[in-house]
Amino acid sequence: MSSVAVRNNVTIFGKGTQPIVFAHGFGCDQHSWQFITDAFMEDYKIILFDYVGAGKSDLLAYDAVKYSSLDGYAQDILDICAELTIKDAIFVGHSVSSMIGVLAANKNPALFKKLIMIGPSPRYINEEGYTGGFEKNDLENLFEFMDSNYLGWSSSLAPAIMGNANRPELGAFLTSSFCSTDPEIARRFARVTFFSDNRKDLKALAIDSLTIQCQQDIIAPLAVGEFVHTHTPRNTFYLMNATGHCPHISEPAETIQVIMDYLKS
Amino acid sequence: MNNLFDLIDTEQIYQHAPSGYLSMLPEGTIIKINQTLLNWLGYKEDAVVGKMHFTDLLSKGGAVHYEMFFRPMVSVNGNIKELNYELLGAPDKKFPALINANGVMDKKGKLLAINMVITDITQRNLYEKELLQAKNKLQAEKTRFELLADLSETMIWTVDLKGEVNYFNGRMSRYFNLRAGDPVTGILFRKLHPQDKKKLITAWHTAGPLSGAFADRIRFRTADGAYEWFNIRMIPVDDPVTDIKWFGTGNSINELVIAMDRKDEFIHIASHELNTPVTVLKGYLQLLQNNLSPETVQDFVSKSLNAVKNLQFLISSLLNVRVINSGELTLNLTVFSLQGLLQSCIDQLKPVIKTHTIVTDFNLFDTQVAADKERITQVIINLLNNAVKYSPGQKQVSLSASLAPDGLHAMISVKDNGVGIAAPELHKIFERYYRVKETQLINGLGLGLYITQNILTAHGSQLKVESEVRKGSVFSFELPVAL
């Protein structure tokens, strides 16, 4: 049986009943949530997964056509929720997963009751009257960069490829490595992510949502976070002290606090 | 003399090491940097420390990569290894750098600072670029060759040292319904015709680097259970890198083999057909040597002439095939009365056909057609002869002709109530040498309909057939009316 749970390497744990789905961002997998999830153990049912192509998902299920737009990734979430019969969940998406969460919620508004977006950006490329933070050249530069880190990437990938059945110390490595994405798929995912435009999807969001904005985030700058806030109905905005694009990794305590406060409100 | 301690002074080693050292806070502010790195970047220390952010040394793409990979990885793993960035310094100062970094953590594992070693990898970078280019080029070449191989109508495969097929092209995959990873050798062997198995194994084992390639005709079972002929060729290769021991190609020669078989059979039939009138002729000529009564002579000569006529018909059929095949069938078009022509055909046949009467139904209103009179006569006579030949025991065949409602065509048809033709055979009857299985006892070369169809094609027309087994057949065609 090829279940979605296996395909997306779904992990479920926690003592509560309220489901909370954490969706990783580009270039990561579910291990990027490892500093966050402990805080939710008591009161929530935590659902982690890897998008097809990331982490320990079934790489054979990768379909270049399906995953050529964020809708393909949103379908992963819809599939997971359908298989686990999840509804009224809390969705926490990092980076590109914020927009994937919006797409999933718009397709099936009963899935989530609250949507939390960490470093969301509906459009990365600058346009007349819109600041996304990137020129097309910047992106070409990034893609080139990923290509030139090809050798570095494969060395960080090697243990994942070797498998870890009889080498438990590699298991420890894997849990701490969240960049075990297939480089070719990562390259395509990068293009899908950075060329997507989900600005028009924001206003269709029919549930409460939170925008978590970091300081000095060059991937999702303040202007983008503000755009999301003003164009999304029922959205709350929070500006963190944390800097960069991955506060759930660099400043987990603050990130947990922001999420907790919002869920209590 | 230098003091030994001066030589190993750690601050000196730090400042002038062959690699760059840089320390920064988790959010990126640079807090310490060595002289080597300052030299590479073309910066002064006081312009950097406490003032610049690490991402200020990176391009935008690099900075994004740093935020998405470098920084989270240091936070999670406590270090990063061998990441490749281009560092940008003062104008004209930039170099590709390999970066290793360790995180400085407090007791709770909170990241306090990041120390990094930066190596100038200009040379290595060039090499890596070449490697990457070579890899991309190789991939493109591979794709190109696979495309060529997959578009080929020839089956192509390779076999490794163990005898396992380790590559097969698209044609082969489709034909045998093979997928990557299938035990192809076993699958093919099971599809091989039992009579060809031993032959192939022997050829395989005796062939090799010394004896060279081997080629053979073998049969494989197809999806519908029938066997088809293939011409396969295996060339021994000795390539330890690709692990290819044999290169194989296969072409379906089934149609060719069937055509050859049919031709052999035709020669056999033709020999018999030609032999029959010659035997008759020889018999009467021998009798004539001894019998001199005028009535008998008259009778024998007329029978001999008939045998010669049959012989002539057979030979002219063979000549017709030659003319058609070489594309030399030319028409001598004239305008004539169709009904007149049909009547003359009946007049010619009446004395010959003793078993059937020809029933006619003409609605032609003196229609004139433009056609080759002699060739159309040949067509009508052939169709009527066939109708008689393939309706043994019946009393009549019919010949109908009428003017089409459009007034531009005349429609001619010949109908019998004979043995008929089964649907699967219908489309084959116009092929050269083809003879319907059930009627092979009835003599004939299998050329009549082939010639007829070709004559009509030359007229821009087409012979059509409707038939039902044991009910009979209707052959029909149209001719253009001369206006």
The span from the CA of A203 to the CA of A231, in Å, is 6
- The answer to whether residue A145 neighbours chain B at the CB level (below 8 Å) is yes
Contact of A126 with chain B, judged by CB distance below 8 Å, is answered with no
Mean pLDDT of all residues in B316-340: 83
Amino acid at residue number B9: D
Among this protein's residues, is A217 annotated catalytic? yes
Residue with tokens 């640079």: B30
Interface residues on B facing A, Cβ-Cβ cutoff 8 A: 26-28, 55, 59-65, 67-69, 71-73, 75-77, 81-85, 96, 111, 125, 128-129, 131-132
Using CA atoms in the order A116, A118, A122, A127, what is the torsion angle rounded to 10 degrees?
150
Residue B331 confidence (pLDDT) above 50: yes
pLDDT at B2: 64
Among A210, A234, A220, A265, CA closest to A93: A210
At B241-268, the pLDDT tens digits run 777 888 899 998 988 888 888 788 778 7
Q: Is the pLDDT of residue A26 over 60?
A: yes
Q: Is A3 on the interface with B (CB under 8 A)?
A: no
Q: Spell out which residues of chain A touch residue B77, defining contact as CB-CB under 8 Å.
A: 176-177
pLDDT above 90 as % of chain B: 31
Give the containing element (helix H, strand E) for B258: helix B254-290
B67 contacts in A (CB within 8 Å)? Answer: 217-219, 244-246
Within its chain, how far is the Cα of B26 from the centroid? 62
Return d(Cα A70, Cα A12) in angstroms, integer: 24
* Span of A7-11, A120-124, B93-97, B420-424 with lowest mean pLDDT: B420-424
Q: What is the pLDDT of residue B322?
A: 76
Cβ-nearest to B61 among A145, A150, A250: A145
Per-residue pLDDT tens over the stretch B421-435: 888 888 888 877 777
Q: In this structure, what token pair is assigned to residue B461?
A: 């027309």
| C-alpha pair distances (Å), B134 with each of A141, B43, B118, B131, B142 | 21, 36, 27, 5, 12
Task: Tell me which residue in A34, A178, A244 faces B71 most closely, judged by beta carbons.
Answer: A244
* Per-residue pLDDT at A148: 62
Percent of chain A with pLDDT over 90: 63
pLDDT value at position A166? 36
Give the model's pLDDT for residue A181: 58
User: Catalytic residue among A180, A217, A229, A248, which?
Assistant: A217
- Residues with Cβ within 8 Å of B393's Cβ and at least 6 positions away in sequence, in order, are none
Q: Does B83 contact A219 at a Cβ distance shorter than 8 Å?
A: no
Contact A216 B27 (CB under 8 A): yes
A102 close to A202: Cβ distance less than 8 angstroms: yes
Could you give the CA distance from residue B58 to residue A125 in angstroms, rounded to a whole number?
19
Q: B386, B402, B364: which is closest to B467 by C-alpha?
A: B386
Nearest chain B residue to A153, by CA: B83
Residue B438 confidence (pLDDT):
62
The pLDDT of A194-202, averaged and rounded, is 94
The predicted pLDDT at position A131 comes to: 93
| Predicted local confidence at residue B285, as pLDDT | 83
User: Looking only at Cα atoms, what is the longest distance across chain A?
Assistant: 56
- DSSP-derived letter for residue A59 is G
Q: Which A residues in the span 217-246 are in contact with B, Cβ-Cβ below 8 Å?
A: 217-219, 243-246
Residue of B nearest to A174 (CA): B77
A246 has pLDDT over 60: yes
Q: Which residues of A touch B112 (CB under 8 A)?
A: none
With a cut of 80, say whether residue A10 has pLDDT above it: yes
Q: A34 — contact with chain B (CB < 8 Å)? A: yes
Contact B27 A217 (CB under 8 A): no
Between CA B380 and CA B324 the distance in angstroms is 18
Query: What span, in angstroms and rounded, lies between the C-alpha atoms of B480 and B461?
Result: 8
At B172, the amino acid letter reads M
pLDDT at A154 over 50: no
Mean per-residue pLDDT, A58-77: 92
B86, closest residue in chain A (CA to CA)? A145
| Rg from Cα positions in chain A | 18
3-state class of B113 per DSSP?
A: strand
Q: How far is A97 from chain B (nearest CA, A)?
A: 14
Known active-site residue A38: no
Residue B209, pLDDT score: 54
Residues of A in contact with B59 (CB under 8 A): 138, 141, 145
Quote the CA–CA distance of B369 and B481 in Å, as a whole number.
4
pLDDT band at A175 (very low <50, low <70, confident <90, very high): very low
Q: Are the CB atoms for B189 and B213 separated by under 8 Å?
A: no
Per DSSP, B208 falls in state B
Residue of higher predicted confidence among B271 and B467? B467
Predicted confidence band of residue B45 (pLDDT cuts 50, 70, 90): very high
Mean pLDDT of B295-314: 81
Closest alpha carbon within chain B to A134: B60
Q: List all residues of chain A from 151 to 170 with a beta carbon under 8 Å from chain B.
A: 151-152, 155-156
Cβ–Cβ below 8 Å for A219 and B131: no
Q: What confidence score (pLDDT) does residue B207 get? A: 64
For residue B458, what are its two tokens? 């030359």
Higher pLDDT, B236 or B25: B25
Residues 57-96 of A with CB under 8 A from B: 95
Helix-strand-coil split of chain A, %, nearest 5: 45, 20, 35
Mean pLDDT of chain A: 85
Task: Please compute the mean of the pLDDT values over residues B368-391 and round it to a whole number.
Answer: 89
Residue A129 contacts B, CB cutoff 8 Å: no
Rounded to the nearest 5°, which phi and psi values hold at A133?
A: 105, -15
Q: Which amino acid is at A97?
A: S
Q: Do A246 and B83 touch (CB under 8 A)?
A: no
Residue A180 among the catalytic residues: no
The reported pLDDT for the residue numbered B224 is 80
Q: Is A39's pLDDT higher than 60?
A: yes
Residues of B in contact with A28 (CB under 8 A): 72
Q: How many residues does chain B have?
A: 483
In the prediction, which pLDDT does B213 show?
77
pLDDT-based confidence at residue B154 (cuts at 50, 70, 90): very high
Task: Name which of B27, B60, B132 is nearest A147 (Cβ-Cβ).
Answer: B132
**The pair of three-digit structure tokens given for residue B213, joined into one six-digit string:** 């390639």
pLDDT value of residue A183: 67
Contact of A138 with chain B, judged by CB distance below 8 Å, is answered with yes
3-state class of B354 per DSSP? coil
- Between CA B383 and CA B370 the distance in angstroms is 20
* CA-based nearest distance B184→chain A, Å: 22
- Kindly report the nearest CA distance between residue B115 and chain A, in angstroms: 16
State percent of chain B over pLDDT 70: 96
List chain B residues with CB under 8 Å of A32.
72, 76
Highest mean pLDDT among A62-66, B43-47, B237-241: B43-47
| pLDDT(A180) > 60 | no
If we measure between CA atoms, which residue out of A142, A89, A91, A93 comes closest to residue A120?
A: A93
Average pLDDT of chain B to the nearest whole number: 86
Tell me what pLDDT residue B306 has.
78
According to the model, what pLDDT value does residue A177 have?
44
The answer to whether the Cβ–Cβ distance between B68 and A27 falls below 8 Å is yes
Interface mutation vs chain A, best among B53, B55, B59, B67, most A CBs within 10 Å: B67
β-bridge partners, B113: B104
How high is the pLDDT of residue B427? Answer: 80
Cβ distance of B67 and A149 shorter than 8 Å: no
Distances (CA, A) of B375 to B191, B378, B451, B475: 49, 5, 10, 17
Among the listed residues A195, A244, A233, A189, the one whose alpha carbon sits nearest the alpha carbon of residue A211? A233
Q: Mind telling me how many Å the CA of A176 is from chain B's nearest CA?
A: 6
Query: Would you state the pLDDT for residue B349?
Result: 83
Selected catalytic residue, list A57, A95, A180, A209? A95
Residue B465 has pLDDT above 60, yes or no: yes
* Whole-angstrom distance, CA of residue B409 vs CA of residue B423: 28
**Averaged pLDDT, B20-28:** 94
The pLDDT assigned to B402 comes to 92
Nearest residue of chain A to residue B64 (CA atoms): A219
